[in-house]
Amino acid sequence: MHPARAWRGRSQRYRLEGEICEGCGARLFPPRDICPECQRPARTPYPLSGRGEVYSYTVVYEPPAGYEEQAPYIVALIKLEEGPLISAMLTDVEPEEVYIGMPVEMVTRVLHRQGERGVIAYGYKFRPVLRRMATMPAQPATVTA
């Protein structure tokens, strides 16, 4: 991945920044600039909480190029509490522990590496909600690396 391409997606990948439609209030992720609900412009940034639950999941045993070292890994559709579905890997969990409806939260991890000299792409993954976090106000994770 070209560094500019990784940089361009920083607000979404690191902060889960979507958009809110001024017209109908729909919260959108990924950003799409035109609201699919009412077809009006939706360009106001809106950070999502990063909390949601598993809508569906699978384990990838035959990975695409660039993801071999992570396989087998779990990818899921997450239903965010604000409404949108999002595609992401699940982390810090074994496949047999995952179930549809499992509460999850966003964390920031390495998505993939491109060899010794390539870009290390960071972004969101989701993990089971930690019990000790349940009483704290959850914040979207930030990147320090």
Partner 1 sequence: MREVAIIGVGQTPVGEHWGKGLRELALEALEAAMRDAGVERLDALYVGNMLSGQVEAQEHLGALVADFAGMHGVEAVKVEAACASGAAALRIGYAMIAGGLADFVAVVGVEKMTDAAGEAITAALATAADAEYEAVHGMTFTALNALLMRRYMHEYGYRREDFAPFSINAHRNAVHNPRAMLRFPITEEAFASARMIADPITLLDASPICDGAAAVILCPADQARAFHERPVRILASAVATDTVALHDRRDPLWLEAVALSAYRAFQQAGARPEDIDFFELHDAFTIMAALSLEASGFAPRGRGVAMALEGAIFRDGRLPIATMGGLKARGHPVGATGIYQVVEAVLQLRGQAGPNQIPHARLGMTQNIGGTGATVITHILEAID
Which residues contact partner 1 by CB under 8 A? 1, 9, 12, 30, 32, 36, 55-68, 70, 73, 75-77, 84-89, 95, 100, 111-112, 121, 123, 125
Comparing CB distances to partner 1, the nearer of 46 and 67 is 67
Quote the tokens at residue 64: 């695409």
Comparing CB distances to partner 1, the nearer of 44 and 56 is 56
Q: Shortest distance, CB of residue 11 to partner 1, whole angstroms?
A: 12
Comparing CB distances to partner 1, the nearer of 49 and 70 is 70
Residues 6+ apart with CB under 8 A from 85: 55, 77, 78, 79
Q: Are 46 and 18 in contact (CB under 8 A)?
A: yes
Comparing CB distances to partner 1, the nearer of 24 and 134 is 24
CA terminus-to-terminus distance, the chain: 18
Q: Shortest distance, CB of residue 78 to partner 1, whole angstroms?
A: 8
Residues 6+ apart with CB under 8 A from 117: none
Q: Shortest distance, CB of residue 8 to partner 1, whole angstroms?
A: 9
Q: Shortest distance, CB of residue 39 to partner 1, whole angstroms?
A: 14
Q: How far is CA 111 from CA 19, 66, 136, in A?
A: 23, 10, 27
Comparing CB distances to partner 1, the nearer of 61 and 117 is 61
Q: Which of 30, 23, 34 is nearest to 48 (CA)?
A: 30
Q: Shortest distance, CB of residue 57 to partner 1, whole angstroms?
A: 7
Instruction: Tell how strand 85-90 and strand 27-28 pair up.
Output: unpaired
